[in-house]
Amino acid sequence: MSTPRPVLVVDFGAQYAQLIARRVREAKVYSEIVPHTMSVAEMLAKNPAAIVLSGGPASVYAPDAPRIDAGMFDAGVPVFGICYGFQAMAQALGGTVAKTGNREYGGTPLHTRPEAGVLLRDLPDDLPVWMSHGDCVTEAPAGFTVTAESAGAPVAAFEDLAGRRAGVQFHPEVGHTAHGQEMLTRFLYDIAGIEPTWTSENIIDEQVARIREQVGDKEVICGLSGGVDSAVAAALVHKAVGDQLTCVFVDHGLLRAGEAEQVEKDYVAATGIKLKVVDAQERFLGALAGVTDPEQKRKIIGREFIRVFEAAAREIAAHGDVEFLVQGTLYPDVVESGGGAGTANIKSHHNVGGLPEDLKFALVEPLRTLFKDEVRTLGLQLGLPEAMVWRHPFPGPGLAIRIIGAVDEERLAVLRKADLIARQELSAAGLDRGVWQFPVVLLADVRSVGVQGDGRSYGHPVVLRPVSSEDAMTADWSRLPYEVIARISTRITNEVAEVNRVVLDVTSKPPGTIEWE
């Protein structure tokens, strides 16, 4: 099975392209993001099923505002313009875009026309939509029907069904637009005539076929971190080539309670994967002894990880013909690193680019076209443990960067207990999926006075750092219910003897990062 014809989402440089591409995938249609600098000929060479022009600068009159080559519209490919893409499309096709200076920003009422075409058919006459524009389209291009208006946009949506083209001034991809996903879906199915075939079964079949083709009868290795990406990538490769795959799990002793067991027992039981566990806890703790500087910690962990992984890889390679290494690179990494072919930037110390020449592997990256939510769906489909599939992101250097001060076994044990309580209470409150990440941080070099039982205590504080985020680039502190925070606090101070104070971090990112180190 080959990759389906893509819906190309043309990125005009704002934050919207990835979100649109995800929404298209939610409609079970394969999408790819391309830069607006790509020529129309190159876009057409990808044989697109449709083209979506995304949001971008506020105005087509903005200095250096990117234009659309009108040739795009001669090729007969269905086109959907959104926000800036809508204005640029109107302009390219001979409509009028007026520089009104009338801004509409945020939730805005949209009035649909009775002859509402296909996108807005049978939707309420008045709809709340998300707007973000200065200029507006005042006259639709010839052949287009105007299907909606708002106070600041006399032409807020238009369609040319015969030409399979449509556009909207607002953002259908954001949750604040009522029925937005339905509009996008109608464009894809009813205007562009695309079939919804991008399902997890098809993705798995396609990837399995590709992996078999790439790997042939050679051996493959994969480093498991305990996170969902490497777990799903390995499971896919295992489905494709079975025991030609050997996984390596380096237990650096910096994982949270239960996580090493999850990999060594539950994951292996669920997949039947051949796993080599390297217990390197002493080695990592030895190398970290007395180190307090965060960057130094990261460097040491990265260095040790590569050494341990390399030794394991050599042992495995000694028995077989290992040519390939699996990486759990996701689509956003590919897009952010320029989207080109070849190796995407691999984050942190999981980058094994530092392996010596005689251990150079070709990469197998079965998640390269996928978003995180798709990876999770695949994980469930492949039968992975739910706890692993839904695990919050966790940094490679693990608890070492959540202990402020030097890392040792005792401190790790304290933090593990506190962290487990926080995770248990978050889950019990049914809030796991409402939170992006929930670091618990031990201020190991700080003590404060407390009173516990009959006596004075002089213990350590822990910081609760629950955050909400879309992509970890920016974040806000999660407004967890007070009762949940209270339960976590009470349990930690009761059950973890070394901790006598629990504080809540109420800093957004920026200025704070998610992790404390």
Residues designated as active site: 83, 171, 173
DSSP labels, 16-58: HHHHHHHHHHHTT--EEEEETTS-HHHHHHT--SEEEE---SS
Output the smallest distance, CB 51 to ligand XMP, in A.
Answer: 33
Token digits of residue 307: 């050494």
Is 231 marked as binding a ligand? Answer: yes
Nearer to ligand XMP, 150 or 437 (CB): 437
Nearest CA to 133 out of 66, 83, 187, 196 is that of 83
**In this structure, what DSSP letter does residue 363 have?**
E
Nearer to ligand XMP, 160 or 517 (CB): 517
Chain center to CA of 400? 24
Angle at CA of residue 209, ends 205 and 212, nearest 5°: 140
Please count the other Cβ atoms lying within 10 Å of the Cβ belonging to residue 242. Answer: 11
Q: Is the peptide bond between 48 and the residue preceding it cis, with omega within 30 degrees of 0?
A: no
Output the smallest distance, CB 513 to ligand XMP, in A.
Answer: 3
Cα separations (Å) of 229 from 350, 431, 459, 483? 12, 22, 37, 33
Output the smallest distance, CB 499 to ligand XMP, in A.
Answer: 22
Nearer to ligand XMP, 77 or 400 (CB): 400
Task: Return d(Cα 502, Cα 493) in angstroms, integer.
Answer: 7
Nearer to ligand XMP, 305 or 331 (CB): 305
Output the smallest distance, CB 426 to ligand XMP, in A.
Answer: 16
Output the smallest distance, CB 348 to ligand XMP, in A.
Answer: 3
Residue 16's contacts (CB-CB under 8 Å, 6 or more residues apart) are 54, 55, 56, 82, 83, 171, 173
Q: Are 464 and 419 a contacting pair, CB within 8 Å? A: no
Is 227 marked as binding a ligand? Answer: yes
- Residues binding ligand XMP (CB under 6 A): 298, 347-348, 393, 395-397, 437, 472, 509, 513-515
Nearer to ligand XMP, 198 or 436 (CB): 436
Is 383 marked as binding a ligand? Answer: no
Output the smallest distance, CB 347 to ligand XMP, in A.
Answer: 5
Is 333 marked as binding a ligand? Answer: no
Q: Are 510 and 475 a contacting pair, CB within 8 Å? A: no
Is 226 marked as binding a ligand? Answer: yes
Q: Are 123 and 179 a contacting pair, CB within 8 Å? A: yes
Nearer to ligand XMP, 270 or 472 (CB): 472
Question: Residue positions in the annotated binding site?
Answer: 225-231
Question: Residue positions in the annotated binding site for ATP?
Answer: 225-231
